[in-house]
Amino acid sequence: MNLNVKISVLFAAIAALLIALLMAISLYAFRSFSIASSSEHIRTAAEIVRVHLTESMINGVIDKRESFLKRLMEVQGLASARVVRSPAVVQQFGSGLHEESPSDEIENKVLREGKPDYEILETDSDTLIRGTIPFIATNRGSPNCLQCHEVQEGQVLGAVTMKVSIGNLKTKAMLTVGALVVAVSIFMGIGFVLIRRMVNPVSATAVDVEEAVQRALRGDFKAKVEQVTNDEIGQIATDMNRLLSFLDEGLTRIGANVARLTSRTPTADENQLTATIDMVEGLTRAAHFKQAIEEDETKAEIHLRLAKALEGEFGIREYSLYEMQANKNHMTPLFVDGLPEASCRWCDPQILVRSEGCRAKRTGHVVDGVLNPGICYAFQPPEEAPNRKHICLPIIQSGAVGNVLQMVVPAEEETRLQELLPYVSVYLREAAPVLETKKLMETLRESALRDPMTGLNNRRFLEEYVDTLVANVQRRQSQVGIMMLDLDFFKMVNDTYGHDAGDAVIKALAKVLRQAVRASDMVIRYGGEEFLIVLLDATPEQADTIAEKIRSTVEALDIQAGTTVLRKTISIGVSDFPSDSDTFWQAVKFADVALYQAKETGRNKVVRFDPAMWQDKSY
């Protein structure tokens, strides 16, 4: 029900109520007035009858009373009049005329109680008021009742019953009430017309505002409210139009800017407000994501957070996150369907060893297998997951592809994936520079912990790793073999053949050492021509065997230094941790003491540490 109908119904109800109240009040007032005036008329006529009867008795013409009552009937409105004698008068003067005896209980009651009685009588043709007025004996006036009647003062002598017609008054009352109702109705009609003229602009403006608001809730702010007046209602329409224009222009600018940030293309039938809110919320979540990954320590933590965002924020369950290996044509799967370091599932495994087979990595462009099915030959979903589509997004770092994110969905979720694509791209764009920074930091840290000539870890690496090493040894209750190695007479190589020859010797030795131990063991360039090897989970016998193998290999090694072929020997000192010392660095010192012993006793030999060596003050 709109405003016009509500006001019309309300006004009609108020008008009907007012007219009904007016009619009720008017009819009640006229009725009360008619009864009061008729009752007064009856009392006046009764007093006239009493006075006439008193004078008639004194003058001796009481027998003419009947003709008097007939003449009294000629008074307008008086329908009947009769006199009734009380028992006291009957006892003194007899019963009188036949009409003068009480005819009903009302007359008997008035004669007994001496109080007047009035009632309304409705007939087929008229409305009457009947009044029965008692005559009370009194000695006031001259003549008076007690001059003829032998009764006490205040005693009832009789009563007069009269009927007065109020039909004429009733007719006049109805006509008057009718005239009032017509006048009020005309006034109400004029008022209704005036109010409708005042309300129509309000109603029309309200309807326009409601439609504009409904369209705004659907994202359409181009509605206009018609200005029909120049008062406050017209001002509301003007202000509403200004507000809609402001919102439309502002949301258009915001939506366009946010769409550029997300690379999202708006659709013609979308809710502009909802779409803008979704885009802003997406950018807000992306900003929080970036803040979180900036505070992460390693690339692995960022990769994990990105995987959680794909699953938690976007509801993507089937995906692969790859990382390119530096200076290699390899790809490593970091997460596959939420599992870390899982095997390649959605692509040809050949891309792991030949990354150029990955179209996203090779081109650095988005590979949309939803819009272009079959665009990438490397996409090979397993038989248990048929009817899948994919989109691969490269993550550019330092101008090259550093990671590739592959999102896989069933055919029925293609539309949802296309809708999510701009927001996922924002996450990747935010993650790219942070991943690049972490990669550079790891490269710098790696270079600080690695000897650039040999590629071996340096002493600083050992210093950072030693706490972890000791903790692992203690937890596993294992042994570590420690070898300190030093080339014999290395300074003569530099002095005789130059530093290039010395570098060639160092590199050749480093290669021999890496090949002689396991991948889990550590080979460290401790300084100059001195090397340190840490053998994990190695018994003393195993450590001695490996040391002797290294010594003999070096002794038989031909080293090409320019046009010269060199041969060198090496001295090795061996100790065990924690057998020789429960302190790692002390065990390293013991290996160095054994190395010194090897040098002192002829070089080109392996010497195991003995506690007696430590007792020698020369060390």
What does the alpha-carbon distance between residue 427 and residue 536 come to, in Å, rounded to a whole number?
A: 42
Model confidence at 411: pLDDT above 70: yes
Q: Does the pLDDT at position 617 exceed 50?
A: no
What average pLDDT does range 31-38 have in this prediction?
81
pLDDT at residue 616 is higher than 60: no
Percent of the chain with pLDDT over 70: 94
Buried b (16+ CB within 10 A) or exposed e, 440-460: eeeeeeeeebbbeebebbbee
Q: Which tokens go with 597?
A: 């012993």
**Residues 423 and 262: beta-carbon distance below 8 Å:** yes
CA dist., res. 163 & res. 41, Å (int): 10
Token digits for 515? 């090949």
Measured distance CA(609)–CA(607) in Å, rounded = 6
pTM of the model: 0.53
Residues of the chain above pLDDT 90, percent: 29
Mean pLDDT of 472-482: 89
Task: Please determine, for residue 577, whether its predicted confidence score (pLDDT) is greater than 60.
Answer: yes
| Phi, psi values for residue 136, rounded to 5° | -105, 130
Most confident of 217-221, 438-442, 524-528: 524-528
Q: Which residue has the higher pLDDT, 402 or 91?
A: 402
The shares of helix, strand and coil residues in the chain, as percent rounded to the nearest 5, are: 55, 20, 25
Looking at the DSSP bridge assignments, the partners of residue 130 are 119, 163
Closest CA to 465 of 480, 443, 449: 449
Instruction: Look at residue 307 in the predicted model and tell me its pLDDT.
Output: 93
Residue scoring higher pLDDT (295 or 264): 295
What is the β-pairing status of strands 318-324 and 606-608? Answer: unpaired
C-beta of residue 181 within 8 angstroms of C-beta of residue 22: yes
Residue 315 pLDDT: 92
Q: What is the pLDDT of residues 104-160, one digit of tens each?
A: 888 888 888 889 998 888 887 788 888 888 888 887 777 677 777 777 888 888 888
Instruction: Give residue 27's pLDDT.
Output: 81
Q: Which class for 9: exposed (0-12), middle (13-18), buried (19 or more C-beta within 10 A)?
A: exposed
- Looking at residue 180, its amino acid is L
CB 278 within 8 A of CB 252: no
